[in-house]
Structure 1
């Protein structure tokens, strides 16, 4: 006999189908606090169990923050026993953890909760974790982020599905869930701290949103429109990022800014900086636009992490040691700031020079000149990015500059071709080679 679904259950079913939240035969772990939202979610998934051939389990974390925390645990244990749902329970002293790690209670509890859910998922061998966040939670989170400061993509909070976490209630208002619990005569417990406006989220819920409702009674739905719009922007950015050509060389990430809009440039930078474990702040974006028309500049993003521009190229780099000089005397390989040479008796590269050891490889020095021109001007003419100039190899023999790769080579070296006393200094690998390839691709 086909089961008739409650209107809320049918609404969840449609969301599950449209957002691909669940697959048939999956095992679902419900994060079960014992509150009205998570208890309702558990019952809804149990009602959809036959349709999707689901295995439904639950997990409860006792935070030990309230006198009634043990009551909540006992309620959840009893509920799962009655419903014959497998349950994983753990007790953690959240207050102690937050004190030891210098975290706020909200932040620390959230961190521990997600760690526990991942562990419970493995223990019960589940495929996904179902969270009971609803539309009101989404609105509160978005307002919280707006107040703290965020960009468009920062407002893409609490997606219907993200990795192994699903939120079947995310587009359903809390009032609909309350009505469902009433219709189904569901028992639940209530966290008394939900009314303590000393917590930021509760202050937004009980003070800020009621004020906003005076302006727009459907403020949650208005914020939902913003959420969905920004999800579309996020998808566009993700596609854009996948198409970008990035050059990663040791402590650097380099890319071309040609053909990028300001928005694309900021998002690409934000993504690159994140890979270094840092965040691109608003103050950095402001500095970026202040220097927009300068051909070269350098700003510090975090301690030891720099953003530099040279011509049309951007470079994010970790502070690193720079070798200032290196003497080449014997045959074999040499590494000079990522420029890999080999001193050999034969030509092994399209970039080489004939030398007679000992040869000095050094960085440029103030006042370096080649004939009548400053070395700095020659580097600019060769479009060498500023972030490479102070590390580039200058090949010197008896105080005379013979070769600066990609910039200058002494024409008199051709006369050495017939002389067997000379060796070949081959340039096998270098950061500029990949940059030149990147520029060619861009053109």
Structure 2
């Protein structure tokens, strides 16, 4: 057992760059066996180990189980972290499922310890039978290849590096090991209750399958998940290569891809690309379901510029001419709904990313510059104070060089400004709310520099 445990860890490079390891220990046979194996091999691995136990307070015996784990670790000189969380009360007040609540508080607990004491990785004791159950559970929930790949030896969850070094063992082997080394683990009575989906699969479905179809069903499913995981990884790499070829812009809250190139990609890879983008903006794939993928595909099929949809996690997707844009809805920048007054010869902040500066100069000191972010106006034609505001329905003015009025909306469409950005384009207006500059696209013809101009106002739009 010890030899196989060590080989699995080394084969999968689970302890690469790991000097300190936090081990989640419930007191059951799986986690107790894992803790004992790491304890016996800690010198071989050259790592410092610690154990963490969260008492969910679900059962009367949970406090005694926490005491048992604490004594076990203390007797071996292993550093121990313990916390109690009233999960029944949390479930009641937050109206969430028991499984979701347990996962949330558990990972918050582990994350706090790892961040405070600088542990490199977290070890969880999922084994081969858990793997088979997970695959079936994901299949019944309608998962794709990612879900059918099951539990991976190493994953990242919200920047936590998590390893699963027990995946090479069956439950039967773990129980035999516990008996062999006299570990005397505690057994969770709730595992026998068929109120949770996983327990139904474990206690009802697998016994039937193993009785009537294949006695090695769990091993076969776990082995199949490894094959699927390898193929899933291959397709993921193909999707990443395609994504990089169609990428136009990428940051933490926005991704823009070439819409025309994207439409020529096979649907299988398109769906992967949606997930890649969602993960980049949201930092995880939580709450992204197949229904969302179908909504995106309907948007793509409609192919109308300016159209968009909202999906999970406040993410919006819009078609903008030859671009497909994914963005967090909270990236719109103008912080204030109120007008912002421009002070002469000062720089005025519009929002976190942009500002407008002003300078008054004599005409003799002025020279034209080919830069749309710098505009010049006849100072004497302006009615002060000038202000910066958002656009309003029906806004219009006479753009430089034109004779008639044109709507701001139409100018932004002509300039191919994405729909989601149009609301944050700043307008500079005078004291009577006449538009002098739609920054940085057009200035008003009414305030242009002429031969009679003697004093000029320079406005500069600056981006961080």
TM-score, length-scaled by structure 1: 0.75
Q: Does 1:286 align with 2:294?
A: yes
Aligned counterparts of 1:332 and 1:124: Cα–Cα separation in 2: 48
Change (3 A) 1:115 1:306: closer
Q: 1:415 to 1:14 in 2, by over 3 A?
A: same
8 Å contact from structure 1 (residues 25, 52) kept in 2:
no
SS at match of 1:42: helix
2:209 counterpart of 1:208: no
CA distance in 2, matches of 1:297, 1:274: 22
The equivalent of 1:253 in structure 2 is 254
Alpha-carbon separation, structure 2, partners of 1:303 and 1:40:
39
Kindly indicate whether residue 412 of structure 2 is the aligned counterpart of residue 379 of structure 1.
yes
2:279 corresponding residue in structure 1: 271
Whether 1:34 aligns to 2:27 is yes
Residue number in structure 1 paired with 2:355: 340
C-alpha distance in structure 2 between counterparts of 1:278 and 1:321, whole Å = 28
Partners of 2:90 and 2:387 lie apart in 1 by 57
- Name 2:318's counterpart in structure 1: 308
Cα displacement (A) at 1:158: 3.9
Counterparts of 2:81 and 2:423, CA distance in 1: 59
Structure 1 portions without partners, runs of 5+: 1-7, 431-443
**Compared with structure 1, are the counterparts of its residues 118 and 396 closer, same or farther at alpha carbon in structure 2 (3 Å cutoff)?**
closer
Q: Give the corresponding residue for 1:98.
A: 91
The answer to whether the 8 Å contact 1:355/1:424 transfers is no
1:108 to 92, 98, 101: 101
CA contact (8 A) 1:354 1:424 kept: yes
Query: Structure 1 residues 327 and 134, CA, compared in 2 at 3 Å: closer, same or farther?
Result: same
- Root mean square deviation, CA, Å: 4.3
Alpha-carbon spacing, 1:313–1:339, altered in 2? closer, same or farther (3 Å): farther
Return the offset for 1:197. Answer: 0.7
Q: Tell me if the contact between 1:144 and 1:201 (Cα under 8 Å) persists in the aligned partners.
A: yes
Q: CA–CA distance in 2 between the matches of 1:88 and 1:392?
A: 52
Distance 1:365 1:52 in 2: 67
1:220 alignment counterpart? 222
For 1:366, the equivalent position in structure 2 comes to 394
Q: Residues 40 and 186 of structure 1 are in contact (CA less than 8 Å); yes or no, is this contact kept in structure 2? A: yes
Which of 366, 377, 394 aligns to 1:354? It is: 377
1:177 matched to which residue of 2? 174
Q: 1:332 Cα shift?
A: 3.1
Q: Deviations over 1:146-170 (max 9, x none)?
A: 4445555456664323434322112
Q: Which segments of 5 or more consecutive residues in structure 2 lack a partner in the other structure?
A: none
Distance 1:193 1:238, change over 3 A: farther
1:48 match: secondary structure: helix
Determine the structure 1 residue equivalent to 2:306: 296
